[in-house]
A and B are shown apart, each in its own frame.
Chain A
Amino acid sequence: MNLLAFLSDFHPVAVHFPIALLPTVALLALYQRLRPEAQLGSAIRSLLWLALLACVCAMLLGLGNRAFNGHGGEEVNSHAILGIATTVSVMLAAFLYQFPHWALLLTRGLVRVSGLALRIGWGVFRALWIIVRALLRFVLIPVRLLLWCSARLLPKVHAGLEVRRQAFALRAKQAAARIRYRLHTVIFEYLRPDGSLWWQNGALATSVVLVLATGLYGANLSHGEDHLTRNMPQALRTLLLEDQLSGSQLDQAYFEKEVQPVLRRSCVKCHGDQKQKKNLRLDSYAAVVGSGVVKYQNPEGSELLRRLLLPRDHTAAMPPLHKGRPLQADDITVVVHWLQGHSLESLVSQTGGLAPELKALARQLPAIDEKRLSELNTLEGLRVRRLVNNYDLLTVNLSHVAPIHIEAALNRLAPYAVNVLYLDASNLQLTATQWQRLSGFGNLQRLNLKSSNIGTAEIQYFKPLAQLQWLNLFSTGVALSVAEIRAMMPGLNNIYLSAAESES
């Protein structure tokens, strides 16, 4: 067993022989065809037998590989079937080259059989036609009656019609004769009894095509689907492969941050490691991109999107009706954007305008999902929004929260306190403890306390806010000067105090 397994490992080596030999034979045969005086017959024959030997070896080793070394799966099976077909085809080619008269016999037999079939077919057709004609005659009695009358009443018109009818019948007969003649030519001319070359070359050509296909399949298995194209120049790629491979240009970061959660929720149940419906996996970037159901910058051409947009009750809609969690409208947007070719980075940098420090900061903060964000906003008057989409930095407006809800609002915000960069707490009337809680929003950059009840004592809580740049204390009870506040919080750029004392 071990020995067999060991030998089977040489399958990848063995396969190179048929791959090299068969095209060589084909080239020789071609040369012979062009220069009949070249006398290459024996060379072709011996090489073909050699190729057959190589094929059989490679095939056996391959099957061994499959049996002993645990290779399997649909792709391996296809590769194996192609390999066997190649061997059979080469066998046929070698046989026909060696014994040309067998090819002749083959042809003759075929001619006989097809001639017979043609005759039988024609007979059946005739018989049917006779029946149909009889029926038609019967059905057409009234018409004939009418014609008979018209011939009596309008002899001229009738004569004209009769001429046309005869002309049409003649043309139909001629057409039928032509078709019969064509069929005869095909069978008796092209496959004429000396057509042994036709068979030989046919078998050889089939062998070459099959061996190349087998080889390509095998290489895909061992070197990966894109082993021939991954280094292809972009221009050529666009020209040739846009359709099959363009998925790999889709942005991976975007996929992982935005698209994958969608697929995980709704699709991987059937397209993941448990099940692979229609042999499709949607549980990783590589799988999705390699599957051919997504196309770069071509949402319309992407099978995946088409499936998502089909009406829910369509049989091909995904996820199938009543199975799997249906997509939210928003999910589709994400997919569309990704397919349009946006990258996470470009999307944000072209639009967001966030400074690099903030981006870096955002990466360290706790993530907030959209659902949580929505929930935060259900409290009347509380408005929480991302400063810029895709980043977990928040701008919060507390100033319209009714006094009885303030405590609830603070509780809701507590888990995200560090995510808040801008806070509007103007007009609020808070207790000292509540002010203290607000000062726990450690990453605040802008803080609006205008017209609130904050006083000189409470403002001290905010002293540790190192990131604070903008502070509005207009119309508050804070009895400090700008200089004093600045001494307390040196990072401030803008301070608003009172009509007389503001600085920016």
Chain B
Amino acid sequence: MKRRQLLQHLALYSGGAALGLNLLGQRVLASAGADAQYPIFSGHHFLPRAKRVLFIWQQGGMSPYESFENKSILYRLNDTSPAKYKGQCSVACLKPIYPFAPQGQSGIEMSDRFPHLAGVIDEMTVIKTLQNFAPAHPQASNFLFTGERLNDKPSLGAWVNYALGSDNPHLPGFVSLGGADNISNGFLPSDLHGVYFETEGNALDFLERPERISAAQQRSAVEQVAQLDRLYAGRSGDTKGLAHGNVFELAHKMQSSIPAVLNLDDEPDYLREDYGLNDDATKTMGTNLLSARRLLESGIRFVRVTDPGWDHHSGLDTQFPVKARGIDRPLSALIRDLKQRGMLDDTLVVVAGEFGRTPFNEGKIIGGFGRGHNPDAGIVLLAGAGIRKGSVYGETDEFGFDTVKDPVNVNDLNATILYALGIDHMRLTYELGGRTFKPTGVGECRVVRELFA
């Protein structure tokens, strides 16, 4: 069936927007919040494997060659320009800088910069063939999170909550730690915007109630705002503004809920140690990941943790080990922690950058050792929610420069994340300006079901 055509027809008949949601093929919980501006699905398209998602964004794009991609040809051709790429690349090959060894029962090859992660690699799937549609950070990040090139589109976390809503009425459904890029609600209702929490100091600026305002006063202010919004919606028929009231309401509730959720002092010492909270090198990621676990545990559906600084055009020899060390221990602690609490069965953990890096040494030009952007083959780590344990997905060519088998583009990745949550990305749509938007951009993409056990 020509879906586009149908949508056009429907738009003709009915003014489109009103029907956009209805074409989800989706029953909706009419009562999810008195003024819900979005469908809260009353059922799943697929049997859900995950209830929540933790997306760890290695912002900048981690080098495959210093982590999981050990290509023998690069040792041979180190410092030379291979005939194959003559004329395309002016720089010479760079061999993997750190020694590789097979790890775990599964024998996945890893560089020695990730000794702790090696201990939990048997819980994970390593995708080696992440593809993006743009070679530069801003566009590639947009594609990674929104499926679209421009930066005004909803981020995946907003989409997920658009479909499933937040389970905990006192917390937002989409939270970002470590960075506030690419967490927009786009055209979706504004209360779906990702909420950015600081994990050091005040979680959310100005969250606390100023002393000279009493609790009752504040409560009544929030209620009056919501009432005005409802009045306006009633008169104008435009219900978008209701999200505004929801934001106030939620902020009000978070005054009490957030400090408790983010208080890591509750955690036992051994766990704090395990996450690396006592070590400056790992403290930032440790804090973020432990906070993330607490947020997920308290019912937040989508948590994104940004780990900036993986854009190693140079400094693979000096900066990369710092980054690797920063994430290595906290991430492995997180996996173990989730597993022990039974949360790994229904939490999908995704670790991905916006793209991979080239087999060539860019440091030749700007000094030191470094690699350029490669949108044709990047690394993703997946764990939990029924993802295959200790397995590698996708094959790259002998240089690791291009994908030869099982490519996973960023839209495939997002379609797969949604699949794990029980959502069909083709049936999560929003009608705007005559176009039907879905979380996975335009063009072909697929759910990579092979990733699941």
Binding site for B on A (CB under 8 A): 297, 299-300, 306, 309-311, 329-330, 332-333, 336-337, 340-341, 351-354, 370-371, 373-375, 377-378, 380-381, 383, 385-391, 395, 397, 399-400, 424, 448, 450, 470, 472, 474-475, 494, 496, 499, 502, 504
Contact B43 A381 (CB under 8 A): no
Which chain A residues border B23 with CB–CB below 8 Å? Answer: 333, 336
Q: How far is the CA of A387 from the CA of B43 in the complex (A)?
A: 6
With A351-B46, A388-B422 already in contact, 6 other A-B pairs whose C-beta atoms are closer than 8 Å? A300-B5, A337-B25, A377-B42, A386-B44, A474-B342, A502-B342
Q: A388-B47, A474-B340 are in contact. Are A309 and B10 (CB under 8 A)?
A: yes
Which chain A residues border B40 with CB–CB below 8 Å? Answer: 377
Say if the beta carbon of B85 comes within 8 Å of chain A: no
Contact B47 A373 (CB under 8 A): no
Q: How far is the CA of A62 from the CA of B241 in the complex (A)?
A: 70
Contact A353 B169 (CB under 8 A): no
Which chain A residues border B21 with CB–CB below 8 Å? Answer: 329
Say if the beta carbon of B181 comes within 8 Å of chain A: no
Q: How far is the CA of A352 from the CA of B423 in the complex (A)?
A: 10
Contact B19 A400 (CB under 8 A): no
Contact B342 A388 (CB under 8 A): no
What would be 18 A-B contacts, judged by CB atoms less than 8 Å apart?
Answer: A300-B6, A300-B9, A333-B24, A336-B10, A341-B1, A352-B47, A353-B47, A389-B26, A390-B43, A391-B43, A397-B299, A400-B167, A400-B169, A400-B170, A400-B299, A472-B341, A494-B342, A496-B340
Say if the beta carbon of B345 comes within 8 Å of chain A: yes
Contact B340 A388 (CB under 8 A): no
Contact A330 B13 (CB under 8 A): no
Contact B6 A336 (CB under 8 A): yes
Contact A378 B45 (CB under 8 A): no
Q: How far is the CA of A329 from the CA of B23 in the complex (A)?
A: 9
Q: A375-B31, A389-B44, A496-B341 are in contact. Are A309 and B169 (CB under 8 A)?
A: no
For window 207-253 of B, CB contacts with A under 8 Å fall at none
Contact A381 B169 (CB under 8 A): yes
Which chain A residues border B82 with CB–CB below 8 Å? Answer: none
Interface string of B329-354 (1 = CB under 8 A from A): 00000000001111001000000000
Which chain A residues border B31 with CB–CB below 8 Å? Answer: 374-375, 377-378
Q: State the Cβ distance, A378 to closest chain B Cβ, in Å.
A: 4
Contact A386 B42 (CB under 8 A): yes
Which chain A residues border B19 with CB–CB below 8 Å? Answer: 309, 329, 332
Contact A395 B48 (CB under 8 A): yes
Contact B167 A388 (CB under 8 A): no
Contact A387 B167 (CB under 8 A): no
Contact A374 B22 (CB under 8 A): no
Closest B residue to A474 by beta carbon equals B341
Say if the beta carbon of B89 comes within 8 Å of chain A: no
Which chain A residues border B299 with CB–CB below 8 Å? Answer: 397, 399-400
Say if the beta carbon of B76 comes within 8 Å of chain A: no
The 7 closest A-B pairs by CB, nearest first: A386-B43, A496-B342, A309-B13, A389-B43, A472-B342, A329-B22, A378-B31
Which chain A residues border B51 with CB–CB below 8 Å? Answer: 424
Contact B42 A400 (CB under 8 A): no
Say if the beta carbon of B451 comes within 8 Å of chain A: no
Contact A333 B25 (CB under 8 A): yes
Q: State the Cβ distance, B37 to closest chain A Cβ, in Å.
A: 14
Q: How far is the CA of A474 from the CA of B337 in the complex (A)?
A: 11
Closest B residue to A301 by beta carbon equals B9
Q: State the Cβ distance, A16 to closest chain B Cβ, in Å.
A: 45
Indicate the size class of the contact surface on chain B: 35 or more
Contact B44 A373 (CB under 8 A): no
Which chain B residues border A375 with CB–CB below 8 Å? Answer: 31
Say if the beta carbon of B405 comes within 8 Å of chain A: no
Contact B46 A388 (CB under 8 A): yes
Q: A309-B10, A374-B30, A470-B345 are in contact. Are A333 and B42 (CB under 8 A)?
A: no
Closest B residue to A314 by beta carbon equals B13
Contact A330 B27 (CB under 8 A): yes
From A399, A400, A494, residue with most partner B Cβ within 10 Å: A400
Q: A330-B27, A377-B29 are in contact. Are A351 and B342 (CB under 8 A)?
A: no
Say if the beta carbon of B318 comes within 8 Å of chain A: no
Closest A residue to B34 by beta carbon equals A378
Contact A329 B18 (CB under 8 A): yes
Which chain A residues border B342 with CB–CB below 8 Å? Answer: 448, 450, 470, 472, 474, 494, 496, 502
Contact B340 A499 (CB under 8 A): yes
Closest A residue to B28 by beta carbon equals A330
Contact B341 A352 (CB under 8 A): no
Q: How far is the CA of A441 from the CA of B6 in the complex (A)?
A: 43
Q: How far is the CA of A448 from the CA of B345 in the complex (A)?
A: 11
Q: How far is the CA of A377 from the CA of B45 in the complex (A)?
A: 19
* The one of A309, A374, A385 that contacts B14, using a Cβ cutoff of 8 Å: A309
Q: How far is the CA of A504 from the CA of B344 in the complex (A)?
A: 11
Contact A502 B340 (CB under 8 A): yes
Interface string of B416-447 (1 = CB under 8 A from A): 00000010100000000000000000000000
Say if the beta carbon of B32 comes within 8 Å of chain A: yes
Q: How far is the CA of A424 from the CA of B43 in the complex (A)?
A: 16
* The one of B6, B42, B168, B424 that contacts A374, using a Cβ cutoff of 8 Å: B42
Interface string of B265-309 (1 = CB under 8 A from A): 000000000000000000000000000000000010000000000
Q: State the Cβ distance, B330 to closest chain A Cβ, in Å.
A: 18
Say if the beta carbon of B320 comes within 8 Å of chain A: no
Say if the beta carbon of B41 comes within 8 Å of chain A: yes
Q: How far is the CA of A351 from the CA of B47 in the complex (A)?
A: 8
Which chain B residues border A352 with CB–CB below 8 Å? Answer: 44-47
Q: How far is the CA of A115 from the CA of B103 in the complex (A)?
A: 106
Closest B residue to A379 by beta carbon equals B31
Q: How far is the CA of A380 from the CA of B168 in the complex (A)?
A: 9
Q: State the Cβ distance, A156 to closest chain B Cβ, in Å.
A: 59
Contact A385 B341 (CB under 8 A): no
Contact B45 A310 (CB under 8 A): no
Contact B46 A373 (CB under 8 A): no
Contact B32 A377 (CB under 8 A): yes
Interface string of B32-75 (1 = CB under 8 A from A): 10000000111111111001000000000000000000000000
